[in-house]
Chains A and B, each alone.
Chain A
Amino acid sequence: MTQPLLKVRQAKKVYAMGDEQVWALKGVDLDIQQGEFVAIMGSSGSGKSTMMNLLGCLDIASEGSIAFAGQELSSLTKNELASVRNQRIGFVFQQFNLLPRTSALGNVTLPLLYSNVPESDWASRAKQCLENVGLGSRMDHHPGQLSGGQQQRVAIARALINDPLMILADEPTGALDTQTGLEVMALFQQLNQQGKTIILVTHEPDIAQFAKRKLTFRDGELINDERNNNVRQAALENTL
């Protein structure tokens, strides 16, 4: 078996709330292979977002180890972590997190500011990414001029710009209506077919059905890890 993309061993995360300590993660073991499409489920406060933040190098585990592409994350400096986020990981957030006074193109270009890609390639690369998510005709629109689904697709284009190994999406459909949510899921499925590892957090079992593997968290522990034998296929052609 090849080396897993993510290798999580006894990962714990503790938050200090005044004198009290809140264990958001109580020791998680998990392997995720390259090319997987994983959905993380669980009730509110079960530690899903905390797990995602650790996997995405946005936060550091209090205990245990997380290796990403063979690299132990706790041994990396802030700058090295920034570089991993920039080159290897794409984030998609529930609230889109687009820069409000910047065009779709500008938003997609943002990660390139912190990369080594020559400036002359920026525009063409960003355009390509926007076209890939079906927004080739909305490049100069500002987030305020786009629908929620379109904004989320801009965010996905931004996540793809540096051709990352994996995409992390924390409730990407949470702020979208059902139909638009399905469109976004279709996009993820397509990206997964192209080889991207995708990990998403969701509350909706319907959405989780698109993933090939389902993880369930409860009280900071991984309580269920199952293969989805009934993967739902989005009719991509109809939605875009």
Chain B
Amino acid sequence: MKIVILLKTAITALKVNVLRSCLTMLGIIIGVAAVIIMVAMGAGAQQKVDEQIKSLGGNVFFVTGAFRQSGGARSASVVKINEDDANLIEKQVPGVEAAAPYLSSAGQVIYGNLNWSTEIDGIDNRYFVVRDWDLASGREFTSAEINRGSKVAIIGERLRVELFGASDPIGQTIRVTNFNATIIGVLAAKGQDSRGEDQDDVIFLPIKTVRNKITGVSSTNPKSVRFIQVSAYDGEDMDYIEDEMSRLLRQRMRIPVGGDDMFRIRNVSEMIATRAETIQVFNTLLAWVASVSLVVGGIGIMNIMLVSVTERTREIGLRMAVGAKPSDILYQFLIESIVLCGLGGFIGVVIAYGFVFMGNQYGIGAGGIIETQVVLLSLGFSGLIGVFFGYYPALKASRLAPIDALRYE
């Protein structure tokens, strides 16, 4: 009951000098908006990273060859890992879901009078398991097609759109660089990868087909692949799997104890997460800078409240003369300061929502996500600033002697 009257009194007092009230609130408005926007950007970046890790297919390693070391001097030849390594890892390392060999290339793909430059990759069906990638239509490769190196292809969504538009690509023949291949499947859309490249702009053929027709067969390492992508089951100990793979490959390559690895294993999810952490740290820093502006805004509130108390000394005296207790005066000014901060906080929230909405609409930055608890927290915090910085002026007002306040010129 009393609080309603106090609120009304506060709003009346603030309305007397609208411009001043607004300018005073500006610090809080900017502070709250900045904090929420920064946190929202951080949350947006985090979500993007989570999506990327998910689009990668969960817990994934990349195994690549490395430069061969001989007696400290680095030779130019690169150790190529091969399909046998993939099979070995899949069979022998516990916790591994699948190990997919992968051979990459690029070139033109032609259908009718349309052509498109794209990524041409050699894989087998394990790749779809590792990437957690489903077919939108058609079928996967048969083992016969893989063993024989048949001219069959599974295409990405982007390629389908570019070459086929509305017509059904299944069963169609397209020209892949220098040979014809039949399309047997179309993959579901996957979107951009962590570097912003379109993962759907791709055509997959059996690894043997790509090797024979495009990249050529290495005489020293006929089953060589560009890399092996390994996925672990959920909840497996990634470090343990990495160690096991390393041990296995060293053994197979006969690397002596203390010798350098001739391969590299990268835990990709971890790499993305690390980069996300950097973004996160940066955003947190900015949020802290923004909250400093909140404190500065609070000091502005205190300043204006002090001015207001001085200006309204006679009013305070009158209120005391008609029976206001010191606590009544204290609450009156405290509520005024809280209303000022709370309103500023509210406007700040609205601005932050508008800003993030526009950002998302026009694709500025990584996109922002405003979490409810962040909003509540900043509103609560601005209210707290109102209490903290409004308390001293309010106390000063409440301690005035009635007669001195009433006589104040």
Whether A115 is near chain B, meaning CB under 8 Å from some CB there, is yes
> With the chains together, A131 CA to B402 CA distance in Å?
29
Q: In the complex the two chains form, is B324's CB within 8 Å of A114's CB?
A: yes
Assess whether A97 is in contact with B314, with CB atoms less than 8 Å apart. Answer: yes
* Chain B residues numbered 42-91 whose CB sits less than 8 Å from any CB in chain A: none
CB distance from A45 to the nearest CB of B (A): 14
Q: How far is the CB of A111 from chain B (nearest CB, A)?
A: 4
Task: Give the total of A residues in contact with B, Cβ under 8 Å.
Answer: 25
Interface centre among B1, B318, B320, B327 (most CB of A within 10 A): B318
- A79, B314: Cα distance in complex, Å: 19
B314 surroundings in chain A (CB, below 8 A): 97
Q: In the assembled complex, how far is the CB of residue B185 from the closest CB belonging to chain A, in whole angstroms?
A: 76
Please tell me which one of the listed residues B16, B323, B402 contacts residue A115 in the complex, with CB atoms under 8 A apart. Answer: B323
Does B325 sit within 8 A of A, measured CB to CB? yes
B328 part of interface (Cβ distance < 8 Å): yes
Among B5, B12, B325, B403, the residue within 8 A (CB) of A82 is B325
Per-residue CB contact flags for chain A residues 113-131 toward chain B (1 = under 8 Å, else 0) read 1110001000000000000
Task: Select the stretch in A84-92, A137-145, A193-201, A222-230 that faces chain B.
Answer: A84-92
> Which A residues lie within 8 Å of B320 (CB)?
58, 82, 85
Interface residues of A in 17-76 (CB under 8 A from B): 53, 56, 58-59
Q: Which residues of B contact A114 (CB under 8 A)?
A: 319, 322-325, 328
Over the window 316-352 of chain B, the binary record of Cβ atoms lying under 8 Å from chain A Cβ atoms (1 yes, 0 no) is 0011111111111000000000000000000000000
Chain A residues lying within 8 Å of B270, measured Cβ to Cβ, are none
Whole-angstrom CA separation of A158 from B318 in the bound complex? 11
Min Cβ gap B6→A in Å is 9
Interchain nearest-CB distance for B12 vs A (Å): 7
Cross-chain contact A101 with B12 (CB below 8 angstroms)? yes
Residues of B within 8 A of A85 (CB): 320-323, 402
Q: Are B403 and A91 neighbours in the complex by a CB distance under 8 Å?
A: no
Per-residue A-contact encoding for B180-211, CB less than 8 Å = 1, 0 else: 00000000000000000000000000000000
CA of A119 to CA of B8, assembled, Å: 14
Name B319's contact: one of A110, A115, A162 (CB within 8 Å): A110
Which listed residue (B16, B318, B323, B401) contacts A86, Cβ 8 A? Answer: B323
- Does B406 interact with chain A (Cβ within 8 Å)? yes
CA distance A82 to B327 in the complex (A): 11
The answer to whether A78 and B322 have CB atoms under 8 Å apart is no
B406-A97 in contact (CB<8A): yes
Decide yes or no whether B315 CB sits under 8 A from chain A.
Answer: yes
A191 to chain B, nearest CB (A): 17
**Contact indicator A86/B322 (Cβ below 8 Å):** yes
Q: Which residues of A contact B326 (CB under 8 A)?
A: 78-79, 82
- In the complex, chain B residues whose CB is within 8 Å of the CB of A91: 321-322
Report the minimum CB–CB distance from A79 to chain B (whole Å): 5
Q: How far is the CA of A228 from the CA of B103 in the complex (A)?
A: 120
| B residues near A78, Cβ cutoff 8 Å | 325-326
- Contact between A111 and B322, CB atoms less than 8 A apart: yes
A146 on interface, CB distance cutoff 8 Å: no
- The residue among A56, A82, A87, A158 with the most chain B CB atoms within 10 A of its own CB is A82
Bound-state CA distance A99–B16 (Å) is 12
Q: Are A99 and B323 in touch, CB under 8 angstroms? A: no
Decide if A83 is an interface residue (CB 8 Å cutoff). yes
The smallest beta-carbon distance between B343 and chain A, in angstroms, is: 19
Q: Check A58 against B406 for contact (C-beta < 8 Å).
A: yes
| B406 contacts A111, C-beta separation under 8 Å | no
Q: A158 CA to B323 CA in the complex, in Å?
A: 12
Contact of A87 among B323, B327, B328, B406 (CB under 8 A): B323
Q: Which residues of A contact B328 (CB under 8 A)?
A: 82, 113-114
Instruction: State the Cβ distance, A78 to closest chain B Cβ, in Å.
Output: 6
Residues in B with CB closer than 8 Å to A82 are 320, 323-326, 328
Given A99-B318, A101-B16: A113 in contact with B324 (beta carbons within 8 A): yes
- Collect the chain A residues with CB atoms within 8 Å of residue B315's CB: 99
CB neighbours (8 Å) of A158 from chain B are: 322
**Could you say which residues of chain A place their CB within 8 Å of the CB of B401?**
59
A47: shortest Cβ distance to chain B, in Å? 14
Task: Bits for B1-34, please: 1 = Cβ < 8 Å to A, else 0.
Answer: 1000100000010001000000000000000000
Chain A positions within 8 Å of B321 at CB level? 56, 58, 85, 91, 97
Of chain B, the residue at the smallest CB distance from A52 is B403
Which residues does chain A contribute within 8 Å of B403, judged by CB atoms? 53, 58-59
Which of the listed residues B318, B319, B322, B324 has the most CB atoms from chain A within 10 Å of its own CB? B322
| Interface CB pairs A-B, < 8 A, 17 | A56-B321, A58-B321, A58-B403, A59-B402, A79-B327, A85-B321, A85-B322, A85-B323, A86-B322, A87-B323, A97-B321, A97-B406, A99-B315, A99-B318, A101-B12, A110-B319, A158-B322
Listed in ascending order, the chain B residues whose CB lies under 8 Å from chain A are 1, 5, 12, 16, 314-315, 318-328, 401-403, 406
Given contacts A58-B320, A58-B321, A99-B315, 4 further A-B pairs with CB under 8 A are A82-B328, A85-B323, A99-B318, A110-B319
